[in-house]
């Protein structure tokens, strides 16, 4: 159903997130050469049995000194990329020596928002900025961890995981999916750890509604690949990249950023992505 023309995004908005992804990819490659993450046997069976994300079941050991260096490198990167918030980033740099890193890392893995709101208050920092920076410094570790299970995830159907909006690897909430070019099957995408997992094509990932006529999609003119699937039951929505019009994959992390106009369109029409995600991306 054609609708409004996409809005113009702020200058440099997409480029910043693209550069951030490239930086994190570089860090992941470095970690791969220096960090040994144990592969969990029968990981998908454990996920299915416990109905909890793998990282909650097994935990993830992150070296505090390596993470601390990662954070320092990210802050230097951000100071160059975002001179408009340089003062806030420098304030975070100055406070970083005071953090209890073993505890901080565990709270990141738990996605404990309350801990970081208290830490921000005690440090005189913005909680949104603090969470963004600390979490993005952890993401190369999470992506290295998730990459070990991606092949298995892609081979299993949605019957193995009944929480379609929640990443079965790191437990983050997903707001983006793709429809595969060759068969139209839907795969959710986690922009935190880059895991993908299959979910049903016509089912609300928020409430499970699959009633005919109650799941619809919206798109904008001249934009066949980017769509909104909306649920008339819970008024939820899911952004989706459809590979079929072009037959080509895309960078899903960047696509999620580029399609902020779809979030605006959905909210205009009274739909919500039920975003209770802790990290305020």
Instruction: Walk along the chain (281 residues) and give the pLDDT tens digit of each residue.
Output: 333 446 677 889 999 999 999 999 999 999 998 888 878 888 888 898 889 999 999 889 999 999 999 999 999 999 999 999 999 999 999 999 999 999 999 999 999 999 999 999 999 999 999 999 999 999 999 999 999 999 988 887 766 688 899 999 999 999 999 999 999 999 999 999 999 999 998 999 999 999 989 999 888 888 889 999 999 999 999 999 999 999 999 999 999 999 999 999 999 999 999 986 655 33
| pLDDT of res. 5 | 45
Ordered domains of the chain (ranges, CATH): 13-147 (no CATH), 158-268 (3.90.1670.10)
| pLDDT of res. 209 | 94
CA angle, 125 then 194 then 89, to 5°: 20
| pLDDT of res. 211 | 93
Report d(CA 153, CA 160) in Å as an integer: 9
| pLDDT of res. 160 | 67
Provide the sign of the torsion angle of the four alpha carbons 101, 107, 108, 112, taken in this order: negative
* CB atoms near residue 262 (< 10 Å): 24
CA angle, 190 then 193 then 195, to 5°: 55
Residue 71: which residues within 8 A CB-CB, separation 6 or more?
Answer: 96, 133, 134, 137
| pLDDT of res. 164 | 92
């Amino acid at each position: 159903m054609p609708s409004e023309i996409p809005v113009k995004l702020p200058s440099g908005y997409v480029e910043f997130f693209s550069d951030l992804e490239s930086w994190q990819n570089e860090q992941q490659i470095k970690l791969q050469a220096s960090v040994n993450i144990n592969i969990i046997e029968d990981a998908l069976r454990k996920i299915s049995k416990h109905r909890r994300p793998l990282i909650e079941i097994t935990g993830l050991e992150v070296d505090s000194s390596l993470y601390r260096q990662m954070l320092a490198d990210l802050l230097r990167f951000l100071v160059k990329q975002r001179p408009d918030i340089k003062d806030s980033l420098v304030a975070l740099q100055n406070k970083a020596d005071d953090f209890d890193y073993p505890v901080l890392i565990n709270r990141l893995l738990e996605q404990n928002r309350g801990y970081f709101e208290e830490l921000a208050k005690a440090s005189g920092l913005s909680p949104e900025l603090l969470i963004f920076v600390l979490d993005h410094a952890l993401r190369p570790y999470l992506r290295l961890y998730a990459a070990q299970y991606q092949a298995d995830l892609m081979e299993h159907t949605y019957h193995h995981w009944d929480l379609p909006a929640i990443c079965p690897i790191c437990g983050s909430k997903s707001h983006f999916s793709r429809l595969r070019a060759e068969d139209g099957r839907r795969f959710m995408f986690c922009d935190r750890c880059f895991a993908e997992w299959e979910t049903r094509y016509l089912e609300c990932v928020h409430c499970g509604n699959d009633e005919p006529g109650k799941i619809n999609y919206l798109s904008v003119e001249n934009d066949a690949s980017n769509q909104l699937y909306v649920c008339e039951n819970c008024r939820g929505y899911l952004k989706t990249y459809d590979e079929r019009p072009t037959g080509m994959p895309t960078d899903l992390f960047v696509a999620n950023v580029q399609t902020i106009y779809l979030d605006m369109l959905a909210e205009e029409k009274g739909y919500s992505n039920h975003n209770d995600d802790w990290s305020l991306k």
